[in-house]
Every structure is written in structure tokens, then in C-alpha cells.
A = this chain, B = another copy of it.
């Protein structure tokens, strides 16, 4: 008898009819002889609706109260799914985050799970009940309701799988799995059968919205195998698991893009030690995360140009901070650019192959695309380009690394 954690996203429980279908899926899994824990998100559109209600009062609602509000979305889902399960004669029991023993820190709106006291759930499972847990939420140590941020239900599911020592977590969503690139951008995008945690992490952080990053980190840490799949078909999706030999044979697994960054350049910055540190510590104080950084000597000498990227949501504030600093430091003008895009290739195979980067640069050059910045990790190369070339770049890279061909055929 296996213990399976299933997570159903907002679209999967978006209507009463879909909730009924989820109930049927859960019952099939249960009747195949498994213990089942189901984690559900709020019904599609519900969270936005609640946010909108609060924004009718004020543009910046209190974070603690916001979490109290948002947590109702998942509460509605767990009760409705449990009602549907019980109506079909299956013993089920709903749990809110707090009731499921999920304790987080007190960062309202993006809390992190600290511990899960899963005793009650285990007891219910042993008694043959289906356990239905509200995703996305927990309580802090003072019993205040907290939420885990957008996509947090994924993390709830994986954390529960880890706590219950289940080694298998199914993430049901409205897409068929993880693709080599965004199918809306390139029709040749192919569903990936198996991908490593590290690649998935890079993909998530690069803008692929299939899984919350934190959930992949959890899965990697506790070695929980994830199966990302569609709730509207029985077709297998994408397995996210530990790296294996097979994966290393693949040079590049996917191409991603991210249009949500903006570039800021400080010109003619006096070239003395500690000055970059001063700038980035001011920006970090404002809770803004800087991504790519490049410093080049200016033509005149004795000065440098410093360019970096930040999320577009923090762009305005970054400009303000930077302009003030530039004046204080006697630097030149500050130039901003929102029309940029970051295109990345990801693959564990890069570790053992040296020519991947040059292949990428050539592919972009062949299309006449200028690279403004480059950043690399062990398994990822990112290039900052003009936003208007995003789709062109994605398609060129997808073709160059032949991502439309399944890796099995390649290795034959």
C-alpha cells in the first residue's frame, strides 16, 4: 500500500463539475489500494477576486489580514471536495493549514514552512480516510494564519509528502507537464519526460510557471519524486527527480525567457573600491533582488559603467534609489531600460560539455541579436537581449539544440 500525495491546482477545481471529477480521480487512486492525501488550491479566479475586494478598500492592505482573507479560498475548496467525496461514500476529512499541523514563519504573504506535525493526518490515513488539505496556508507560532505566496499549494503538497515519508507526489495542473519551452511561443515545444530537480529549479526561477520554486527545493531536499501532469487526461506528464545518467547525455533540456526584468545603468561611476558594495547594499535594504550585474571601464578611464537588472515590479523604486546614490557619489547619469528580456538555456549536460555557451552565442548572432549581458551557472546560461527579439531567440535556440527531438532517439 503506497501513500500518494495529489495536488490539484485552481483550474482543476475551478467549477463544481471539476471538483466532482477530482473526487472521482481521488477515489480511483484510493480504490487501487493507496492511502491518499489531497492538497487543493483555491478555485480558479477566487484568489484574484479576494485580492480585488481588499484593493477596493486600499491599495496596500495589511499583510496579516490579507492572509486571513486569502486563506478562505482554499478553505472553500477543501470543504467542497470533502463534501463531494463523502457524497460518493468515501470517508474524507478536510484540514486547514493550521489543522494539518503546518507551522510557518511569520512572513505574511510569503511564509516559509518550518515544521509539519502530521500525527492527526497519519491517524486518519490509518483509519482509511482520504485526507484533504488546504494548500498555500499555515499558521505561525502565534496561531496567526499565514500564506505561502502564489503557487504555495505545490509547496504544501511536497512538504506533506516529505513529512509523511511518501516518496511520490502528483501535481495535477492545467498543462500536460514541463515543456522544452513555452508552447505558446514555439509550436515545436516538446513535453519533457523526466527532468532533474536542479534543471526544474532553474526553469522555475527563469519564468516557467509550472511549479513554485520552493516546492522543488523541498522535493530535492527530501527526495520526493514529483509527477507534473494534467488533471484533464490520464496521459503521463513530467517526472521531476534526482539526476541520472540518461539526463547527462542531454546537452540542453529547455529554453526559457523572462520579460519581467529591467536594466539600470549608472554611468561614469568613480572607480574606487567598495563603491559597488555601497550601491547594492542600499538596493538590498529596500528588499530588491538584483539579478545580473556587469561593470565595464568607461571610455574616459578612471570611471566605470555599472549595469544590473531587477524585477520590473521594483524598477521604479530602484531608479529612485540609484539616482539619489549617483548624485551623492558624483557619478554620471542613470539610464533605465524596461524593454529587455532574459533568454536562458538549461541542462545538466552542460557540466560535461564545453561548447554549449559558444553554440548559444553563435545562434543568437546568426539572428542578428545583440547580447547585453551574460550570466551563467553550472547548468544554465542566460543572455540579456532586446525584448523584441525574445520569441525569435527562443525559437533559434530550440532549433540549435534540437529540443524537438526526444532524448531517447538522440542517444540511440
Listed in ascending order, the chain A residues whose CB lies under 8 Å from chain B are 16, 19-20, 50, 53-54, 56-58, 61-62, 64-66, 68-69, 71-72, 75-76, 78-80, 82-84, 86-87, 93-94, 96, 99, 143, 145
Residues on the B chain within 8 Å of A68, using CB? 75, 78-79, 82, 94, 96
Identical subunits present: 2
- In the assembled complex, the Cα of A71 lies from the Cα of B96 at a distance in Å of 12
- In the assembled complex, the Cα of A64 lies from the Cα of B80 at a distance in Å of 11
- In the assembled complex, the Cα of A349 lies from the Cα of B143 at a distance in Å of 51
Can you list 16 contacts pairing A with B, beta carbon distance less than 8 Å? A16-B57, A19-B57, A20-B57, A54-B79, A54-B80, A54-B83, A58-B83, A58-B84, A61-B87, A65-B83, A65-B86, A66-B83, A68-B79, A68-B96, A69-B80, A75-B75
Known: A65-B86, A69-B79. 4 other contacts (CB 8 A): A54-B83, A64-B93, A65-B82, A65-B83
Q: Which 10 A-B residue pairings sit nearest by Cβ, starting from the closest?
A: A69-B79, A68-B79, A72-B72, A58-B87, A61-B83, A65-B82, A16-B56, A62-B86, A65-B79, A65-B83
Is the Cβ of B76 less than 8 Å from the Cβ of A75?
Answer: no
In the assembled complex, the CB of A67 is this many whole angstroms from the nearest CB of chain B, namely 8
Chain B's closest residue to A60 (CB) is: B87
Is the Cβ of B83 less than 8 Å from the Cβ of A76?
Answer: no
Which of B20, B61, B75 sits near A72, CB closer than 8 Å?
B75
Chain B's closest residue to A134 (CB) is: B68
Residues on the B chain within 8 Å of A94, using CB? 64-65, 68
Residues on the B chain within 8 Å of A145, using CB? 96
Residues on the B chain within 8 Å of A86, using CB? 61-62, 65
Which of B54, B72, B75, B87 sits near A57, CB closer than 8 Å?
B87
In the assembled complex, the CB of A235 is this many whole angstroms from the nearest CB of chain B, namely 27
Which of A50, A57, A71 has the most chain B CB within a 10 Å cutoff? A57
- In the assembled complex, the Cα of A255 lies from the Cα of B19 at a distance in Å of 48
User: Given known contacts A68-B75, A68-B94, is B53 in contact with A80 (CB within 8 Å)?
Assistant: yes
Is the Cβ of A82 less than 8 Å from the Cβ of B62?
Answer: yes
- In the assembled complex, the Cα of A66 lies from the Cα of B94 at a distance in Å of 11
- In the assembled complex, the Cα of A71 lies from the Cα of B259 at a distance in Å of 40
User: Given known contacts A20-B57, A57-B80, is B69 in contact with A99 (CB within 8 Å)?
Assistant: no
